[in-house]
Structure 1
Amino acid sequence: MNTGRMLVKINRLSAWILLVFMIIFLISGYAWNNGILIPLYQAKHMHTNLDLFLVFFFLVHVLISTKFTLARWRVGHERLVNLLLIATGVLSFWFILGID
């Protein structure tokens, strides 16, 4: 299997996982704010502990999609673009870890 096909599969999988995490994140935030749907302690725990997973899958999805978009537009050298996108992802996640 070539790299492009593997990245497409990872991108699609990350999009589905991101959708699930977003639904959980929204429901837990609503429950935490209003005290309904799920217990308050569980809503608070889910909402505050799932944010790193949400950010990780968001970055994976966005950066892979950006790579494909830049390749379609023929922007930059492929290796340079890959390096810059990986650096952007690592620095972004590291920044979020610093905030958390």
Structure 2
Amino acid sequence: MKVGLKLNEQFTVSKHNIVQVTTFENEFHLALTNSEYLVISKDDKDNSYYYTHEFNGCLIEVPVNEYHRIQRELTEYFGVEIQDVSSDETKDQEQPEPTA
């Protein structure tokens, strides 16, 4: 098992330094042992709300396929499924209409 997690071309983190993964609708946050956190987000989403003075983490925007690769590697490492939290609207779209 790899102990490093490559997030993008410039950023790799040791999996041993990840203490918490928090999932949201289109992103997830990695809390690190040094009290910093990383936000992993799909680059096809509007992430402008992270570019503020109040934001004290690190935003890493990745292509959708890399986003899912990172989720898979974290799932393997932690032994629990890491996936996006779906909104009620998304759930409604995914469920087929009942037929009579």
Is this a same-fold pair by TM over 0.5?
A: no
Higher strand share: 2
Higher relative contact order (CA 8 A, sep 6+): 1
TM tier, smaller = under 0.3
| Bigger-Rg structure (1/2) | 1
| Structure with greater proportional helix content | 1
